């Protein structure tokens, strides 16, 4: 194959790459717990109310969100978010981040689910 054909083929594949990139899916917190195996490592978007804020821990901010889905008794109604940004307790926000499953930072920081490196947008 000629070098120009190889370059043309590689360029064509590069143009198609965004079509194969993980699309951000919006889910409820209960859905994220239920679909955690399929969503692990993928971008996820949720909207919920901030119920707890811990800023500046391990060079990031930790927020807990609830959206009214899930069962408190089953422990699938609250999702922890890490971000460079923050929000106040009681704020309704939309967050987009990458879902991590069974993450253990050590020192007692262990999370079955964690939405990492999230962007936070206030909902009016």
Residue 51 within a domain: yes
Query: Residue 37 belongs to a domain with what CATH number?
Result: 2.40.50.140
Confidence tier at 105 by pLDDT (50, 70, 90): confident
Confidence tier at 110 by pLDDT (50, 70, 90): confident
- CA dihedral sign of residues 19, 24, 30, 34: positive
Alpha helix (H) ranges present in 1-124?
3-20, 29-34, 36-39
- CA dihedral sign of residues 13, 15, 21, 27: negative
- Give the per-residue pLDDT at 19: 45
Residue 9 within a domain: no
Give the C-alpha separation, 124 to 110, whole Å: 32
Number of domains forming the structure of the chain: 1
Q: Are 63 and 50 in contact (CB under 8 A)?
A: yes
Q: What percent of the chain is predicted at pLDDT more than 90?
A: 70
What would the mean pLDDT of 71-83 be, rounded to a whole number? Answer: 96
């Amino acid at each position: 194959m000629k070098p120009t054909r190889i370059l043309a083929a590689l360029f064509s594949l590069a143009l198609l790459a965004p079509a194969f990139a993980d699309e951000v899916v919006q889910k409820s917190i209960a859905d994220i717990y239920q679909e955690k195996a399929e969503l692990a490592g993928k971008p996820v978007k949720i909207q919920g109310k901030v119920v707890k804020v811990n800023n500046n821990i391990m060079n990031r901010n930790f927020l807990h969100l609830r959206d009214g889905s899930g069962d408190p008794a089953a422990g699938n109604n609250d999702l922890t978010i890490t971000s460079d940004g923050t929000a106040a307790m009681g704020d309704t926000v939309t967050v987009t981040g990458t879902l991590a499953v069974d993450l253990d930072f050590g020192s007692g920081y262990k999370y079955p689910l964690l939405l990492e490196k999230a962007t936070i947008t206030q909902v009016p």
